[in-house]
């Protein structure tokens, strides 16, 4: 950490900063810069609270140097983590496609969509049993009945299933039925839920919050890993910006940065980023091209009758196109990948 | 709702939209515009799902007209709601000041700060017992012990207390000790927690999420009111933008808009908006000037030793200034207020 | 346009809106909705100013329906525009790669980089002679000398050149030397410069402003086309958001939307979006995968000695990789494109 | 400047950074931190280009310490600058109100509005002769005829006038008629225009760009001061964010920060921030309360007939309220100001 002094800081003010640092048990080293002095803090074992120094006289700013996350960081583990779920690997060179309806609406419908997406290229089935909805008057999902349908889909088709747990109580239930428990964007900093996920033996799909920095997102994953669960999959799903031609702005450079900073697999949700069906396939291609480890996509056999997110759900034939194109792009990256690994 | 057709939509495509609307039980009326036709949907009793029509051929966009919230809306209740907490009114012409440390750190410290803030102008005491922290390694609050200290503060000073409930389980506890239960910005769309708050007989302070629209914020309040709890206080605390000279960008026009759209009281948290002590007093003055019903401010007797948020906590003398100035601005608005009411 | 009335609007207030619309020479048709009345405006020949009606009593909001742009819109021209520059086509199925240094620093350097990028896959050479710089103390480019070097590069290598005109006066000069005149992100709404570009017989590369909506961007292109210049190439280069892990957030869904809304070619600048060299190649792949018509990339033979933007300039070997990968992804999309065209 | 090394940087990689720094003529001092080494750069006379070091092996990031602006900075001039225009002081304890229509539409109208705003509290008259408009088809202002009307307003009422120069050519003209030349938000980084303004002997009103950081805004002012013109007035007018309940999000903490960082006066434009008339008066009160040196407001005698920005223009009576309230808030701050000065 670097404590930057104001231009005209007095020697005794600089000395006061040095003392404050030393009182915390660290070493301080004042550094005369071009126009002002900065005091470097040494031998701190982790992040130091900036606010301790910000309030001292003649301190201009405090600049953190060390990143706050540990277990999720690439520095703590050089090799890519591969999360295996029911025989399906996620991470490091695999392209895993998860697909299904926004919400589970009926057993018959779920099974039909599951058969369609499996046949056309999905390895994992997605479907919501508990839906976080902006309005209390909107359809909230089938609840446990939806989970039972998911279990049925798993046993009938062999596909592992991913579904969201919207709170602690629901987590206990979801864990019994799902192979991957999703923590949604709105819950990315629901720290109780993250701690609960840390105690689960299920893989966890952690969506990025709609205004979360990469540091905050990785810190949320750190909560889960700190609890003992190493099977975390990150999911970029767009961030909220001034732009409104898509529901959110898909931030693909986040995929590159996460892959540099962390060893965890990172997938992309083009459906929630886009909000409109026509943008989903192009964004899916782009996500694979940037180097993500998988996609999670909304597909419905009758989007026009879907109880939620119909406008962004793909028709089965569009999903076939998506799989074909995503795999073609992924194939193309393989030699690049091998070259990089060599 | 308005379904806008593409420029060259065929008569049969327009007809298909009309049929789709009628199948849902509504009336449809096609309207020839300057360059294209739009189909208006009539006699719908509430919001209609846009996605139903977006997927029909030649449909360009779907524009919602009716706002989604009911109980919180000004249209459902013309008069301002006043939430009374332990004899302290919040809303409609009152300026209520809540103050205290970010986190409760010790009984002695809390009592000392409480006496200071009461003497200098606060009516309600704030202090965190459960802290939502970005990092799992940061100080997380004293938990139930902190709640007991808050109860002690209440009995010693007579000030009602407000503290955050970070999850369902904690809510049960917090409810027993606190007069106002806070739902934090990160939990604004934790719908389970909102439903829990709806069943409480405690007043609820609902902070705006850091990337929440006003509609989403009011819908979160709608969740609480829909559960039967009418004592909701809204709190603007800044939103996340590209700007980084303050921790968040305080959005004061939100106060004006909320007061037009809703009958609920709305207060402002300048401390979390600013992130730096120097900006807190000016922003507090501005918040009162724009017309908010109260302030919630972080104050510490020794900010430099605070376990969290030290950099944005006011010194006691700064808090005295804040109260004096805020009240002077509020006084000034009184005749304006009366004039507006007349 | 749709004028939405407040819930309890009186018949005479609705009538006043109807009169106001009719006074402007349009037709008005009141539409009773679920909870409120809306008045539709018909037979307007273009966009109507919303503010005319917003101020009438009991008007809640005014919702525009017709998009404001004409000449740039897909509706005015169904086929993709292909801009040809010195024998190099840009648009509709071609992938055009423009590359070179941020700024022209010397004739020798420029020629060396030009030979490198041509050999490795570029069709057009880029290089700044006039640099818009945040600081008045930073290197501002070689000016006309830089333009002469660009002309030399063109004659030596046969590659057309693109360079930025930062103002009216500079435009006159740039036009004499460059094949494509660039209007930078900061000048996207410099309407005088846009009008000047409209009178040029050079192709114009119009970068998206860093906080511009797609409508604003297309309206800027409309200014150029309205002046008589149809050879406009759009360029997405990232938008400013709360995220700071890359210099800007590349908005790839904008490419899809522009291709739907407009017939103009749209290319992507991954260098300025990223700000860091490591992110450029992955983002370039993603841009091609989403369907853009070309790339503009910063390359330097000695990035560590570059006078500007060194951190985001590719090394020659990275640029070779970029071209190989971009073309491979583009190849892949060809059959998709043909299928779409069929 | 601080060059932060990766965790496992080798001694020779650190040595390479030290050499690179020394080659630039600065001193380098490696600092072992908690988890990694950082190299401090000393004795640099100004800002150093970060990209020089970012590309060296094992460099993680480069952190600038010194702010890039000089002439505008508080450190270069401790006392507040007061810009005097036609006898009206702007800055340091004065509250200056500028008001008038968005655009000059006719001599008669302009004179009528001028008399109204003068009588009710304005000291300076505003009105656009050249309007930057998103659409080429919208009303673009009366041009030089508008400037002549402004001169007439000045001679008739004695009020100095402010109007926008949208380009270099227009600047020459505007300068002859206006007392203050405005540079609009869209032109904040039109560096040619800034340099032109630097050579003017007129005061310049520099609006903040809609996605500009404070550093960029102050650097734009630095361009003007660097050219020799010290009479710069800054104007906050809202920034673009995800929020759409107001046209822009007014960033009042920017006023506090600018007053700390710079000696230049800073005023606020609540009309363009709000976009809706109802929000203008509350935001104006807030702006004065936060401590700005003045307001610039749109007023029209018949907003419903205004050719532009009608929805955000105040009625004369609303403007009277605004002046009364703004001055009352300003009065209130006087003793605070004097206390601060003491």
In contact, D80 and D92? CB cutoff 8 Å: yes
Q: What are phi and psi of B203, to 5 degrees?
A: -65, 150
**Contact state of D216 with C134 under an 8 Å Cβ cutoff:** yes
Please state, in angstroms and rounded to a whole number, the distance separating the CA atoms of residues A164 and A298: 14
Please state, in angstroms and rounded to a whole number, the distance separating the CA atoms of residues B21 and C173: 59
Structural domain including A34 reads 2-63
CATH (domain of C318) = 3.20.20.70
Mutation choice for B interface testing from A16, A24, A135 by most B CBs within 10 A: A135
Task: Tell the residue number behind the tokens 């002439």, with chain if given.
Answer: D71
Strands C294-298 and C96-100: parallel
What pLDDT sits at residue C340?
Answer: 47
**Pair D54, D87 in one domain:** no
pLDDT confidence tier of residue B64, bands split at 50, 70 and 90: low
Query: What would the two tokens of residue D220 be?
Result: 């734009």
- D-chain residues near B256 (CB < 8 A): 278-279, 282-283
pLDDT confidence tier of residue B65, bands split at 50, 70 and 90: low
State how far residue D246 is from chain B, nearest Cα, in angstroms. 7
DSSP symbol at D189: T
Q: Which chains would you list as touching D if contact means 3+ CB atom pairs under 8 Å?
A: A, B, C
**Pair B59, B173 in one domain:** no
**Pair C40, C172 in one domain:** no
- A-chain residues near C279 (CB < 8 A): 253, 256-257
Nearest to C153 by CA among C188, C94, C105: C105
- Evaluate if residue B55 carries a pLDDT over 90: no
A275-305: per-residue pLDDT in tens? 988 999 999 999 999 999 999 999 999 987 7
What pLDDT sits at residue D341?
Answer: 45
Option in C6, C38, C44 nearest B34 (CB) = C44
State how far residue B19 is from chain D, nearest Cα, in angstroms. 33
∠C324-C328-C330 over CA atoms, to 5°?
120
pLDDT confidence tier of residue A166, bands split at 50, 70 and 90: very high
**Pair C157, C39 in one domain:** no
Q: In this complex, is the C-beta atom of B27 within 8 Å of any C-beta atom belonging to chain C?
A: no
- A-chain residues near D34 (CB < 8 A): 41-46, 66
Residues 52-91 of B with CB under 8 A from A: 52, 54-56, 68-69
Q: In this complex, is the C-beta atom of D244 within 8 Å of any C-beta atom belonging to chain B?
A: yes
Option in C134, C193, C303 nearest D55 (CB) = C303
- Evaluate if residue D316 carries a pLDDT over 90: yes
Option in D241, D283, D325 nearest B239 (CB) = D241
In contact, B151 and B111? CB cutoff 8 Å: no
- Evaluate if residue A339 carries a pLDDT over 60: no
For A247, which residue in chain D has the nearest alpha carbon? D242
What is the secondary structure of B222-285 as a DSSP string?
HHHHHTT---EEEEE--B--S--SSSSB--THHHHHHHHHBSS-EEE-HHHHH-SHHHHHHHHH
pLDDT confidence tier of residue D336, bands split at 50, 70 and 90: low
Option in A33, A40, A75 nearest D7 (CB) = A75
- C-chain residues near D311 (CB < 8 A): 50-51, 54-55
In contact, A235 and A208? CB cutoff 8 Å: yes
For B26, which residue in chain C has the nearest alpha carbon? C34
Q: What are phi and psi of C77, to 5 degrees?
A: -155, 110
Q: What are phi and psi of D316, to 5 degrees?
A: -50, -40
D168-192: per-residue pLDDT in tens? 889 999 999 999 999 999 999 999 9
Highest mean pLDDT of the ranges B127-136, D39-48, D323-332: D323-332
Residues 293-322 of B with CB under 8 A from A: 303-304, 306, 308-312
Half-sphere exposure of residue B307: CA atoms within 13 angstroms, side-chain side: 19
Q: In this complex, is the C-beta atom of C250 within 8 Å of any C-beta atom belonging to chain A?
A: yes
Residues 213-242 of B with CB under 8 A from D: 213-214, 239, 241-242
**Contact state of D213 with B329 under an 8 Å Cβ cutoff:** no
A69 assigned to some structural domain? no
Q: What is the CA radius of gyration of chain C?
A: 23
- B-chain residues near A132 (CB < 8 A): 189, 191
**Contact state of B33 with C8 under an 8 Å Cβ cutoff:** no
For B192, which residue in chain A has the nearest alpha carbon? A167
**Pair C193, C103 in one domain:** yes
Please state, in angstroms and rounded to a whole number, the distance separating the CA atoms of residues D295 and B71: 38
CATH (domain of C41) = 3.30.70.1140
**Pair B48, B101 in one domain:** no
Q: What is the ipTM of this complex?
A: 0.86
B103-118: per-residue pLDDT in tens? 999 999 999 999 999 9
D196 assigned to some structural domain? yes
**Contact state of C136 with D46 under an 8 Å Cβ cutoff:** no
**Contact state of A283 with C256 under an 8 Å Cβ cutoff:** yes
- C-chain residues near D50 (CB < 8 A): 311
B138-164: per-residue pLDDT in tens? 788 999 999 999 999 999 999 999 999
Q: What is the 3-state secondary structure (H, E, C) of B1-14?
A: CEEEECCCCCHHHH
What pLDDT sits at residue B66?
Answer: 60
Residues 182-211 of D with CB under 8 A from A: none
DSSP symbol at C45: S
**Contact state of D66 with A31 under an 8 Å Cβ cutoff:** no
User: Mean pLDDT over residues B19-32, rounded?
Assistant: 78
Q: What is the CA radius of gyration of chain B?
A: 23
Least confident window among A113-127, B326-340, C79-93, C148-162: B326-340
pTM of the full structure? 0.88
In contact, B262 and B74? CB cutoff 8 Å: yes
Alpha helices in chain A (DSSP H): 11-23, 51-54, 107-120, 144-157, 168-177, 191-198, 214-226, 253-261, 270-274, 277-290, 316-341
Return the SS3 of A37.
Answer: strand
A226 assigned to some structural domain? yes
DSSP E strand stretches across C44-137: 59-63, 83-85, 88-90, 96-100, 124-126
What pLDDT sits at residue D34?
Answer: 58
DSSP symbol at C248: S
Query: What would the two tokens of residue C11 be?
Result: 């018949």
**Contact state of B253 with D279 under an 8 Å Cβ cutoff:** yes
What pLDDT sits at residue B45?
Answer: 56
Residues whose CB is less than 8 angstroms from the CB of residue C48 and which lie 6 or more positions away in sequence, other chains included: C1, C24, C26, C41, C64
**Pair D236, D327 in one domain:** yes
Residues whose CB is less than 8 angstroms from the CB of residue D100 and which lie 6 or more positions away in sequence, other chains included: D110, D113, D114, D117, D122, D125, D126, D127, D298, D299
Mean pLDDT estimate for chain D: 90
Please state, in angstroms and rounded to a whole number, the distance separating the CA atoms of residues D297 and B176: 50
User: Mean pLDDT over residues B310-328, rounded?
Assistant: 94
C307 assigned to some structural domain? yes
User: Mean pLDDT over residues C315-342, rounded?
Assistant: 82
B258-272: per-residue pLDDT in tens? 999 999 999 999 999
In total, the C-beta contacts within 8 angstroms joining chain A to chain B are 122
**Pair C8, C95 in one domain:** no
Asked which of D13, D31, D63 is the last residue of a domain, the reply is D63
Option in D214, D242, D283 nearest B290 (CB) = D283
**Contact state of C2 with B65 under an 8 Å Cβ cutoff:** yes
State how far residue B117 is from chain A, nearest Cα, in angstroms. 20
What pLDDT sits at residue A340?
Answer: 47
For B309, which residue in chain A has the nearest alpha carbon? A51
Nearest to B127 by CA among B204, B315, B111: B111
What pLDDT sits at residue D38?
Answer: 77
- Evaluate if residue A163 carries a pLDDT over 80: yes
Mutation choice for C interface testing from D44, D51, D232 by most C CBs within 10 A: D51
User: Mean pLDDT over residues A3-22, rounded?
Assistant: 85
Please state, in angstroms and rounded to a whole number, the distance separating the CA atoms of residues B24 and B11: 20
Half-sphere exposure of residue C114: CA atoms within 13 angstroms, side-chain side: 27
**Pair C164, C259 in one domain:** yes
Mean pLDDT estimate for chain B: 90
In contact, C161 and C179? CB cutoff 8 Å: yes
The tally of domains found in chain D comes to: 2
Taking residue D327's Cβ as centre, other Cβ atoms within 10 Å add up to 14
C12-51: per-residue pLDDT in tens? 888 888 888 888 777 787 776 656 777 877 666 555 677 7
**Pair C175, C117 in one domain:** yes
Option in B249, B256, B332 nearest D249 (CB) = B249
D56 assigned to some structural domain? yes
Asked which of A63, A97, A115 is the last residue of a domain, the reply is A63
**Pair D43, D190 in one domain:** no
Beta bridge partners of B29: B40
pLDDT confidence tier of residue C337, bands split at 50, 70 and 90: low
pLDDT confidence tier of residue A341, bands split at 50, 70 and 90: very low
D88-121: per-residue pLDDT in tens? 999 998 999 999 999 999 999 999 999 999 999 9
Please state, in angstroms and rounded to a whole number, the distance separating the CA atoms of residues A57 and A10: 10
**Pair D252, D212 in one domain:** yes
What pLDDT sits at residue B225?
Answer: 95
Option in A214, A255, A329 nearest C329 (CB) = A329
Mutation choice for D interface testing from A21, A38, A77 by most D CBs within 10 A: A38
In contact, D214 and D68? CB cutoff 8 Å: no
What pLDDT sits at residue B11?
Answer: 86
Residues whose CB is less than 8 angstroms from the CB of residue B31 and which lie 6 or more positions away in sequence, other chains included: B37, B38, B39, B40, C29, C31, C40, C42
Burial class (CB in 10 A: 0-12, 13-18, 19+), C52: buried
- D-chain residues near A247 (CB < 8 A): none
C320 assigned to some structural domain? yes
In total, the C-beta contacts within 8 angstroms joining chain A to chain C are 125
pLDDT confidence tier of residue C134, bands split at 50, 70 and 90: confident
What pLDDT sits at residue B59?
Answer: 87
Query: What would the two tokens of residue A97 be?
Result: 């496609």
C203 assigned to some structural domain? yes
- Evaluate if residue D268 carries a pLDDT over 90: yes
User: Mean pLDDT over residues A135-151, rounded?
Assistant: 91
What pLDDT sits at residue A338?
Answer: 52
C220-278: per-residue pLDDT in tens? 999 999 999 999 999 999 999 999 999 999 999 999 999 999 999 999 999 999 998 89
- Evaluate if residue A335 carries a pLDDT over 50: yes
D122-147: per-residue pLDDT in tens? 999 999 999 998 888 878 899 999 99
B251 assigned to some structural domain? yes
**Contact state of A214 with C245 under an 8 Å Cβ cutoff:** yes
- A-chain residues near C274 (CB < 8 A): 253
What pLDDT sits at residue A342?
Answer: 43
Option in D252, D278, D333 nearest B252 (CB) = D252
Q: In this complex, is the C-beta atom of C50 within 8 Å of any C-beta atom belonging to chain D?
A: yes
Q: In this complex, is the C-beta atom of A38 within 8 Å of any C-beta atom belonging to chain D?
A: yes
């Amino acid at each position: 950490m670097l404590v930057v002094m104001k231009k005209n800081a007095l020697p005794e003010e600089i000395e006061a900063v040095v003392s404050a640092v030393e009182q915390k048990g660290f070493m301080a080293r004042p550094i005369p810069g071009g126009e002002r002095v900065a005091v470097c803090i040494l031998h701190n074992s982790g992040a130091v609270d900036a606010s301790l120094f910000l309030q001292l006289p003649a301190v201009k700013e405090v600049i953190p140097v060390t990143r706050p996350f540990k277990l999720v960081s690439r520095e703590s583990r050089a090799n890519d983590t591969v999360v295996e779920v029911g025989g399906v690997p996620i991470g490091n060179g695999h392209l895993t496609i998860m697909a299904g309806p926004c919400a589970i609406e009926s057993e018959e419908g779920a099974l039909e969509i599951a058969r369609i997406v499996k046949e056309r290229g999905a390895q994992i089935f997605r479907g919501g049993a508990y839906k976080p909805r902006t309005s209390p008057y909107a359809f909230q999902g089938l609840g446990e009945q939806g989970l039972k349908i998911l279990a049925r889909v798993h046993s009938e088709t062999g596909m592992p299933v991913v579904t969201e747990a919207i709170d602690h109580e629901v987590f206990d239930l979801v864990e019994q039925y799902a192979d991957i428990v999703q923590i949604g964007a709105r819950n990315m900093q629901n720290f109780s839920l993250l701690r609960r996920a840390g105690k689960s033996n299920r893989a966890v799909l952690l969506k990025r919050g709609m205004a979360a920095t990469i540091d905050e997102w990785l810190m949320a994953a750190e909560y889960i890993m700190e609890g003992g669960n190493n099977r975390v999959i990150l999911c970029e799903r767009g961030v909220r910006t001034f732009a409104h031609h898509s529901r959110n702005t898909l931030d693909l450079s986040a995929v590159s940065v996460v892959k540099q900073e962390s060893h965890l697999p990172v997938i992309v949700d083009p459906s929630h980023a886009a909000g409109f069906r026509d943008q989903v396939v192009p964004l899916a291609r782009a996500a694979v091209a940037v180097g993500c480890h998988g996609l999670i996509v909304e597909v419905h056999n009758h989007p026009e009758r879907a109880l939620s997110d119909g406008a962004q759900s793909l028709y089965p034939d569009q999903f076939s196109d998506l799989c074909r194109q995503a795999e073609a792009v992924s194939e193309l990256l393989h030699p690049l990948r091998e070259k990089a690994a060599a």
